[in-house]
Structure 1
Amino acid sequence: MNTAPAFYPIGTPGTPWGEAERAEWLSRQARQRSYESEVLSAIEGLRPRFDVEEYGRLEYGDERFPLLAIRSRDWRDDLPVVLVTGGVHGYETSGVHGALQFVDQHAADYAGRVNLLVAPCVSPWGYERIHRWNPNAIDPNRSFREDSPAEESAALLRLVAPVRDRVLMHIDLHETTDTDETEFRPALAARDGKPFTPGGIPDGFYLVDDSENPQPEFLQAVIAAVEKVTHIAPADDNNEIIGSPVVARGVIQYPLKQLGLCASITNAPYKTTTEVYPDSPRATPEQCNEAQAVAVCAAIDYALAHR
């Protein structure tokens, strides 16, 4: 694992970024892959079997990013809604492609049983730059609240608003990567004028439960299914994962609503955030995508069995 830098190369230690520092940061972000060819093309391939809608359009400089959601074609108002989101952090690749793999390979299994609403790539600018933030140096996954400063988050909130009270289960697909420690956490500390405290990166899959409404049996059902595909992250020597106490095997808790996390945007009784570790020598990209898709299936299966 790489060692995090002692200081971040933008800004003055102890002083939050202003416009100049944010502009310098933005100038360093380069497009590294294509949302159009890797994500939009895959969604287009699903149109014969699913309804696809544009729920927003991001405009950053001269770039335009349509935000697309995939819905069950046989949508029925008497069925519960299942929400799947990916790519809230655009760099977390398996969140995007795991969501698409679920739709392609497994969504038909739930026809007539649930209404599926899938937003596979919430942050396309971040997807192309392989970054956690949007171009305003804002983390969309701390911005799911009224008057959100992140248009990515605001657009998803608008999409979900009409069905928010009908969602049975929401699973938000994420990754924890080595670059969290070498780039994104140091950048966050520099942006906010705070000291950076090095931490560790867990090797394996884990889940985040809602500390305000924990559902331990639900999360253990997902862990049991994913374990058949990839390994589960162990607790560290402090019985923690990324600084949070491990409350059950492969599970930590956050106050989702308080932190403005994506998994808090509905009133679903079952909600969780997945975390895949793509940098593990024990996991391939294909395993990471499969782990996400399997997690979605297990989460839906449990929610339907315990309605």
Structure 2
Amino acid sequence: MTATSAPYPIGTPGVPWGDAERALWLSRQVRHRSYIEDVVRRVERLGERFDVAEYGQLSYPPDQYRLYAVRSRDWRDDLPVVLVTGGVHGYETSGVHGALQFLEERAADYAGRINLLVAPCVSPWAYERIHRWNANAIDPNRSFRENSPAEESAALMRLIAPLRGRFLVHVDLHETTDTDETEFRPALAARDGKTSEPDIIPDGFYLVDDTENPQPEFQRAIIEAVSKVTHIAPADEKGQIIGSDVVSPGVIHYAMRKLGLCAGITGARYTTTTEVYPDSPRATPEQCNAAQVTAACAAIDFALR
């Protein structure tokens, strides 16, 4: 879809937000769903087969959130480590539910072959409010850097720090939605005192590879597997997807570490960010979740060949 330009309802065009604008924005955020019921209850049930650990807490008064990671019970120091992350952007639903579904249905297939670490919902406040940012109007997926301003990002970096150098694969599960154009990009422009130019949301699944560590065969293997589950996003008339050149069907490049993206935190040989399009008339929520599961499995399968 293509969005139309309109002034964002908070702030003065061209002027970055101050405390008053951020407070007004926060006052308008509404809880739509439950992290406890949707995520924590499923994680607790996974404790029957995996080790479940709390790796941090978030405090956004009056709300408190415990952050959970799930890891292989048969952890072995001689095995490579695979990280799967979901819900870095809380509104990207299939990232969270795809990570949980992967744990419930497929993770056991890799027992004894990898050490698996999964953080299924990195941003629970945003998950509940179906939002991109945290309660401080900060995007966690631009904040994976030293002295991060986002506690969600800092907590995940602390979790993986002891394992750096051992990661083989990191799959970060995301979505690109129509609300990226109708809400989140206009809000970003308003927050930063910039203008928002309408763009086209790609209809279909695509991947983001790392400019500094491109792995084209790895990305192609994931695209091939996911294409059997849901459709792959085509390039636009400029040969791009969301402003980046398409380097192979359904694949673009971002500079992961420079941009502070989650997929850049591990130093893994194989990294990717998935992008599912849940608003497509050609995709159901079940397909979106399945695409995330398929991507994670295809990534691990390729790396283990």
Match of 1:299 in 2: 299
**Aligned 1:247-262 pairs, distance under 5 A:** 247-262=247-262
Alpha-carbon displacement from aligned partner over 1:4-57 (angstroms, at most 9, x marks no partner): 451100000000001000000000000000000000011111110000000001
SS at match of 2:148: coil
1:163 counterpart = 2:163: yes
CA RMSD in angstroms, aligned pairs only:
0.7
Contact 2:33 2:128 in 1 (8 A): yes
Percent identity for Structure 1 against Structure 2: 74
Deviation per CA, 1:259-288: give whole Å up to 9, x if none.
000000011010010000000000000000
**Aligned counterparts of 1:95 and 1:282: Cα–Cα separation in 2:** 18
Q: Output the amino acid matched with 2:120.
A: P
Which amino acid in the other structure matches residue 138 of structure 1? I
Q: Indicate if the aligned counterparts of 2:122 and 2:152 stay in contact, CA closer than 8 A.
A: yes
2:9 corresponds to which residue?
9
Give the distance between the partners of 1:82 and 1:105, measured in 2 at CA: 17
Q: Find the counterpart in structure 2 of residue 180 from structure 1.
A: 180
Superposed counterparts of 1:1-307, under 5 Å: 1=1, 3-305=3-305
> By how many angstroms is 1:3 displaced?
3.5
How many equivalent pairs are there?
Answer: 305
- Code of the aligned partner of 2:107: A
Q: SS state of the match for residue 45, structure 1?
A: helix
**Under a length normalisation based on structure 1, what TM-score does the superposition of the two structures give?**
0.98
SS in 2 for 1:165: coil
For the residue of structure 2 that corresponds to 1:31, the secondary structure is coil
Contact 1:2–1:182, Cα closer than 8 Å, also in 2: no
Q: Shift in Å at residue 164 of structure 1?
A: 1.5
Length-normalised TM-score, structure 2? 0.99
Whether the aligned pair in 2 keeps the contact of 1:4 and 1:186 (CA below 8 Å) is no
SS in 2 for 1:207: strand
The alpha carbon displacement at 1:62 in A equals 1.5
Question: For the residues of structure 1 that align with 2:24 and 2:40, how far apart are their CA atoms?
Answer: 30
Task: Give 5+ residue unaligned stretches, structure 2.
Answer: none
SS at match of 1:194: coil
Contact kept? 2:5, 2:197, Cα under 8 Å: no
* Counterpart secondary structure, 2:108: helix
**What is the CA deviation profile of residues 237-274 of structure 1, one whole-angstrom value per residue up to 9, with x for unaligned ones?**
00000010101000000000000000000110100100
Gaps of 5+ in 1: none
